[in-house]
Every structure is written in structure tokens, then in C-alpha cells.
Structure 1
Amino acid sequence: MAVLGVVAPVLLAHPGEHAAALLVAVTAALAVASAILPWPVGRVALAGAAAAAAVASLALDAAYSGPYRLPAFWLPVEWSALLVLLGRATRRVRGRWAGPVGAVAGLAVLLVPLRFTLRVPDAGWTGSLVAVLFSVLPVAGVAGAGLYLRALDTRREGAVIGARREQRLEVARGLHDFVAHEITGIVLEAQAGQLPGAGPEETAALLRRLEEAGLRALDSMDAMVGALRDPQVDETGQGRAVGATRMHGLADLPELVGRFTTTGTTRATLDSAPDTAGLLSPEGEATGYAVVLEALTNVRRHAPGAAAVVVRVAIGPDGRSVELSVTDDGGRGRGPKGLRRRRQGSGGTGLAGLAERVAAQGGALDAGPYRPPGWRTRCVLPVR
């Protein structure tokens, strides 16, 4: 309807001026259509429509030879449409065409008044200069607003990408920390169950432990899948992921160490200073728990013959940090070959990811041989 409204006044033009009026009206209608249509339309994108409308306007500026009164009638419509088109192109056109399309649209806005002022008899250059200067401020304002909104869009897109990446990393950490830990225990239990001499009671206990580990792995998988769902808004108005994994902390270490002992042949003990409770932030608590979990999983993978593991939690010498360490004695079968395999990180990238996570909180993580053939994983986290 808007396009028809722009073209309709051609019928009121003088019969000898119909052709010139139609040419001016069609150019203005093209600018209006390009400014208001939701692009892309078919295979035509906003960049192509904006470029076509601006080039058509510039071509008519150079080639028009009709009466000067006709451009004056359609001038406000075409000028306003080109200005809107400049704002849309500056904000929305992506890639290498953004600059050229914006420049052509801005030039068209500046020069379209000259179609009238240069053809007015005895007008001189003063009127044309004033018309161009009158268009400079709107062009600069619209282009600046478009660039500002473009920067906000880019920042928002980056934030969305970063949030999605962080969510994927959180899911990956959960899968690695919890599911892999339980699967490792299941594999070791299954291997132990293949040894001869197990009686009915031992077999029943083994199957019970396998069932419990499998159920814990399924619970962790359900939590991870729930974290991938769209966030909902809780009572405080803040977004939260449905089914997000519960944050574990240092208070959960006794249960973790006890489960490690009951699902394997390695005896683990926890030496935790009572005054460490509440010193770390919630994220620090979760990170410390993840470090202990990863270290115990690595003991199962790389030192199945270890006889004893000691998990120690204490306040650092400076009083401003909490130190966590997981030390195993290596046990039988741990030789230089086993130490080399650990140095190469054959169990995956769990410690590398945890080192980045710890460093982001201002802490440090290291792992290496300790009283060979033993191994120690040590983490230092700052108090909040």
C-alpha cells in the first residue's frame, strides 16, 4: 500500500510529464519498499536491496532531465526512505558488504536534494550547498545510531555464544567428573568380579555396588541433560538451568572417600582440618571437590595396585589459602613405565581442564611423582 501511495500521484501529473513523473515516482517507491520490507525476501537480501535503491537514486540524480517541480514533490519521501535504509544497512548488513552498502546509501541521502536544487532556474550553488549540509547531520546521526546498535548486537551475540560455550563446558565437566568416575568404578568392579573364588555373598555385594554406581551415573546423566534445556526463571527473577547439577563441596568429601574405599581394593583416608569449613567460595568448594574426584579417578585408572590413598585438606601456611592433596603409595606394579604414562596424561584432559579452572580463581594445581612410586595431586585455592 505504501508503494502504491507513492506511485499514485503520477496520474495527477501533466500529460506531457507522465514519463518523467513515473521515473521519479518509481525510484522513490523502490527506496520506500527497500526501507520497509522485512529482508531477506526470497534470494534478495538487505544488502542487495539497499544497494539497488541507492544506486537507482544516484543514477536518477545524474540522468534526470525533466521538470524541476517533479523531484521536489517526491523528494521528502525518497529522502526519508533512503535515511531509514541507511540505518538498517548500517546495523544489519554483515560481512564485507557492510561498508560499501552503507557508504552508497549515505551518499544517496546527501545527493538526492541536488536533483531539485541544481535544476531550479537562477538558484546558484548556495541552495545546493545548504541542502547537502542539511542532510549531513541526519546522515551522521543515523549512521552513528546504526553502528551503536550493531555493536550492541555483536556484544549480545558474543555473550550468547559465550554462555552456550560455558554451558557445554559445564556439561563436559560434569560428564567427566561424575559419570566417568562412576564408570571407572564399574569397570574395576567388573574386572574384580571375574577373579575366581568369589562366593555367593561376595557376588551379591559386587552386584549391589554395581547397581548403586550405575544409578549414580544415570542420575548424573539426567542432571547433565537437564542442564541443556532452556533456562527458566526462578522466584528471584534470575535464570537457572532446569535440572542443573548440584554443587558439591568439601563437606561431601567424606562420602566420596568412603565410596572410593568400598568400591575398590584401595583404602582411602581423609585428613581434613575442621577450621577449613566455610573458607572457600561456593565455586571454590566445587572446584576442590572436582580436584579430589579427578585425583581418585586417576588412582583407579593408573594405580589399581595402590594400597593406600590419603586425601588431606588443610589451611595454607599463609593462612589465606586452603590446600588439598591426594597422595597414593603407588602399590605393586608401579614402576617408571607407570609414571611415564601418568606424565603423558593418558587418562584424558581432566587435570588440564581443572588447572585452568583453578587458575581462574587465583589458585594453583600441580601433579607429579611423590616418594616414588607414589603420586600426588595438590591444589591451592584462595580463601574468599
Structure 2
Amino acid sequence: MWESTGPAVKALGALPSLAAAGAVVWAVARGRAAVRQRVGRLARPTAVCAVLSLITGFALPKAGLGSGWKLAEIAVLLLLLAVITRWSPLRELRSALPLTALAVTLWPLALVTGESFLESIGIATFWLLPAAAAVAAGAYPRRQELRRRGAVAEARSAQRLQLSRDLHDFVAHDISGIVVQAQAARFVAATDPSRALLALERIEKAGLSALAAMDRTVQMLHGPDAPATEPLPDVSQLPSVIENFTSAGATEAHLDLPSPAAEALSREAGSAAYRIVVEALTNIRRHAPDAPRATVTFTPTATTVEIRVTNDRGARPAPARRRASRGGLGLPALTEHAQALGGTLLAGPHGDGGWQLTAVLPATFPKETS
């Protein structure tokens, strides 16, 4: 098609090389902060360079530029191919990557004549290898960074979930107790100051407990190098929880915690059992504040410990059941926690208008020695 090898034709033949080199210079000829942003925008210029390379390569196969110039052009295209694979957005990469790989793969076919179809396929396959290597060189760090970002996002999500659980399971329980005690103190302050003083003492105790839970949460956010704090509550602290719950409202709570059941729970399972009981009592206080009785029973079996929290019907059952039916985040989160430990958790109506929560956690009983 082009038979002349004059300066104009040679200039056209050199255009892809100059354009590719210009794209590289444009990307790196700014401050370090702007380099990555510009490199990420190289996909379209690279696609233009690849199209120019294909057009001039087949339209001007004998422009007199020599294979050395063409090899330099291909080397720059390979560099651009690796760079755009590493940094460019996927929507721009979809068109630039195949065009650039095609330009690298087909460039020698315009210079050779007389080869058979199979020989041409072999030549193209040979030059496909450096194109694949350039793509792999860019794709591997891109994949590693995506995995790193995914791991960071997953860790942050787990941390937020743990924070949410701690705030709900511990702080919310203490805050609800403070509200109940404050309401009781307001009603009896004028007629029975001694009871109001007792309520204020319980408010102080619940507030200190909430602050301790907040301290644990903040220390967790500081990471593994943070100073050690007190361990999470476990079933050994349930008697005081039951006592405070009974003294704070109209519901009389009872705890049946035999020693074998307490000793059979691991530290993590014991903390989960504490959370489950606290959540159940908090729900009773919110949704059935006039229930006359609530029972917390731990029953050990051969391989598990069953936790059963039951409350009787209160004086205002209808509103309580409606509010409980809307549900919240506490029981679903605890259900997932119990399942993660290999147990189960179920909650639902019980008896004549009452409510019952049943959790089963795995147990590790010590082996008997002969």
C-alpha cells in the first residue's frame, strides 16, 4: 500500500513508538504524589498507542525503520501493559488490555512473508508469552493489594461487630438498670429518702460497671499492644447480676447454677453464657417489667450445658409481646455467637404469656481419674 520510504512515511512508522514513550513520560514527569494518579489513567493512551502500532505495522511494513526500532516500541508497550494491569480501573482495562496484547503478539507477522499458517500461529504464540508475562507482572500485585484491602475491611468489620456486641451486652444492660433505678428513686425520694439513697448507690454501681465495660472496649480498639485489662465477665459473676436485677425492679429472679455446669464451660463459653443471661434479663426488664418471676437455670449434660431463662406473664403482656416481636440485634448476634461455639440458641413464647430463652453450649468435663 505504501511504497515510499521517505521522511513522511518514516515519521508515520515512528508515531506509535513516540506516542508510547510520550505516555510514559507524561505519567512520571510530575511530583511523586501525582504519579500514581496519572499512571492509573494510562489505559486509554495505551489503547491508542496499540491501535497506532497495529495500523502502522500492517500499513507500513517496509517503512525502513528497522526491527530494532519496532522492538523498542514493543518493549514500551509491554511496560505500559504491566502498568495498566496494575493500576488502571477495570472498566478502562477491558478495552486497553486486549488491544495492547494484540499489538505485541501480531507485530512480527507484518514483517515476515511466505510463512505458512501454522508458522504464523507459532510466531504469534511466541510473542504472546511476553504479553502474558507483562499482564501477570501487573496482575499479581493488584490481586495482593485487593486481598490486603479485603482482609483489612474484614478485620474492621469484625472489630465493629465485637464493639457492637460489647456495647449491647454489657453497657446497655447497665444503662437500663440505671434508668430503672433512677425512675424508682424519683418516685420514692419524697416519701422514703432511704430507699432513694439505696437506689442512688445501685446507680453508682451500675455506672461503674458500664465504665468498666467501656474501658474494655476502648482497650480492644487500641490493639494487642494495649495494656491488659480485666477479663470479660463469666458465669461466676451471675449471682451478683441476679441480685442486682431483683433489687432494681418488680421481677424476682432466681439462679440455679450447679458447680459442674459452671466448671464445664470454657472461658469463651462462660463469657457467652454470661452475655446470654444478661441479654435475657435485659429483655425481661424492657418488655415485661411487671413479670413477677424469672428463673435462670444451668443444666449440665454429657457434652453440653443448657441455659434456660424463663419469665412469667407480666401485668402488661400485650405491649410487651408486641415490642418483643419487633426484635433487635441482641438475640440474633448471640445466636450467631452460640453457633460459632458449636451450640444453639432459641427464644419464644412460653406457658401462659411468658417467654423463654434456651441456649445449649458445648462443655468440657474433666476426665475422671481412677
Q: What letter matches 2:295 in structure 1?
A: V
SS class of match (2:308): strand
Q: How does 1:1-384 map to 2 (within 5 A)?
A: 19=11, 23=15, 25-30=17-22, 32-33=24-25, 38-41=35-38, 45-64=41-60, 67-68=63-64, 70-114=65-109, 117-118=111-112, 124-125=114-115, 131-144=123-136, 146-196=138-188, 198-229=191-222, 231=223, 234=225, 246-316=231-301, 319-331=302-314, 333-335=315-317, 337-338=318-319, 340-341=321-322, 343-345=324-326, 348-383=328-363
Q: What letter matches 2:36 in structure 1?
A: W
Query: How many residues are matched?
Result: 351
Q: Is the contact made by 1:39 and 1:46 (CA closer than 8 Å) also made in structure 2?
A: no
Query: How far apart, CA to CA, are the structure 2 residues paired with 1:153 and 1:179?
Result: 37
- TM-score, structure 2 length as denominator? 0.80
Query: How far apart, CA to CA, are the structure 2 residues paired with 1:190 and 1:354?
Result: 28
Query: How far apart, CA to CA, are the structure 2 residues paired with 1:282 and 1:103?
Result: 56
Query: How far apart, CA to CA, are the structure 1 residues paired with 2:84 and 2:16?
Result: 23
Q: Which runs of 5+ in 2 are unaligned?
A: 1-5, 30-34, 365-370
How far 1:82 moved relative to its partner? 1.9
Q: What letter matches 1:58 in structure 2?
A: L
Q: Is the contact made by 1:339 and 1:373 (CA closer than 8 Å) also made in structure 2?
A: no
How far 1:226 moved relative to its partner? 4.6
Identity %: 39
Q: Deviations over 1:30-71 (max 9, x none)?
A: 3644887843229x7243343233333334324446643x24
- TM-score, structure 1 length as denominator? 0.77
Query: How far apart, CA to CA, are the structure 2 residues paired with 1:159 and 1:242?
Result: 25
Change (3 A) 1:377 1:146: same
Q: Deviations over 1:330-383 (max 9, x none)?
A: 34x144x1463255135x332122223223333221222333243221111123
Q: Which runs of 5+ in 1 are unaligned?
A: 1-13, 235-240
Query: How far apart, CA to CA, are the structure 1 residues paired with 2:8 and 2:355?
Result: 98
Query: How far apart, CA to CA, are the structure 1 residues paired with 2:276 and 2:357?
Result: 8
Q: What letter matches 1:83 in structure 2?
A: L
